Amino acid sequence: MFVMGIIFACVALFYCFSFHRNFTDRGYVIGSDFINYWTAARLTLSHNMMILFDIDTYHQVQEKLLGHTIYNVYTWSYPLPLIFFIIWLGFLSYPVGLAAWLVLTYIPYAFAVAARRPQAWGLAALLALSPASFENIDCGQNGFLSGAFMIGGLRLLEKRPIWAGILFGCLSYKPQICILIPVALIAGRYWRALISTALTAGTLLGLSVLVFGLDAWQAYFEKIMPHMQSVLEIDPEASVKFIRMMPTGFMSARIMGASLSTAYMISGAMMMVSILAVVYAFKHCRNIDLRNALMLTAVFTASPYIFNYDMPILYGGIVSFVAAIGSQLKARDLALLSFLWFSPMLILILNNHHIPHYERTPIVPLAIAALLAIQLRAIYEEKRSPANGLTSSSRT
């Protein structure tokens, strides 16, 4: 993984430095969303963190720090514990920080997915060149970091439950991805991992209160949370890119013309199905890779608010699924997995607001749901065949 990380670092550095000046001269920001992490880190180091919650002033600070006009508005949207993971970026220039962020989050992500897999180096290279990685790099987002925590936690769960819980707890900065973690741990009776998760998340929460104060959390709930709800409920006809980046049942329903109430009902139904699927998998599945694959897929059917740059997590599910059933994969399974591999880019086309309502189809959410159904069937068939699967020896 080290060599792959060096190669990825060189590509990231070239990307950041080659395009940074060209984009900034035209009022755009390379790595777009990374401006949030970098600005938040600098504001925190300069004891001006409360500016994060004033959208207009925050935008002005971003323009001042970069030294040019920024056409798009980038707002802070994360729970405060994320700052502990990004504070070091404030010591670096923007392009160096972006390159470092991408490299230092990709390496643990690739390790979490590819470690102890056949052709691990080739798999790491494939992940680096994948559509989801491209979207994460293009947005300067946290998909690699989130993937490292989620996938790493699942793969450590059997033999290192406390460490698994620590990784899960660190993911608390992105609650829409964490929805199913306590469900899985309770269903599988991983009590040590559950306690470790709660203690880690609680420690990060407590430290954020101690370091940043209650006023910061009050501002987050009063200003950021309502803003994020308005983002989720935005008119789907609005010409904003992020609408097209969401592979969720909720946003697909909205794009197809459904009302907010209908979209929430669809999303709620998908969440309930996801919860039941995870409970079934963690109660009955002995094949660890198969169970993990379902969990990583269900993340995308359970949440109404998730983006294509989060799909490195789904890739972990695809790799685990292939590792679990291997030669049993059918042609239609391979076709579905191939489509989902490219879906982080395809979603931008399929969710295009210029396509009339009646011609739009929620292909990506349906494909993810189909993969979940296939994984459930595989678990059911495994349950009927006691000789198959990897049995967990200790769930503590």
Distance (Å, whole) CA 106 – CA 142: 10
The 10s digit of each residue's pLDDT in 100-128 is 999 999 999 999 999 999 889 999 999 99
Q: Identify the pLDDT of residue 267.
A: 93
- Two structure tokens written together for 157: 């769960």
* Model pTM score: 0.88
Position 360 scores a pLDDT of 59
Buried b (16+ CB within 10 A) or exposed e, 290-321: bbbbbbbbbbbbbbbbbbbbbbbbbbbbbbbb
Phi, psi dihedrals of residue 142, rounded to the nearest 5°:
-105, 20
**Residue 242 CB neighbours (<10 A):** 14
Task: Please give the average per-residue pLDDT across 129-133, as a whole number.
Answer: 91
- State the Cα–Cα distance between residues 10 and 144, nearest whole angstrom: 17
Residues 6+ apart with CB under 8 A from 381: none
Average pLDDT, the chain: 86
Count of CB atoms within 10 A of residue 159's CB?
11
pLDDT of residue 41: 96
Q: What is the mean pLDDT of residues 154-178?
A: 95
Query: Where does the pLDDT of residue 3 fall: very low under 50, low under 70, confident under 90, or very high at 90 and above?
Result: low
Tell me how far the alpha carbon of residue 88 is from its chain's centroid.
Answer: 21
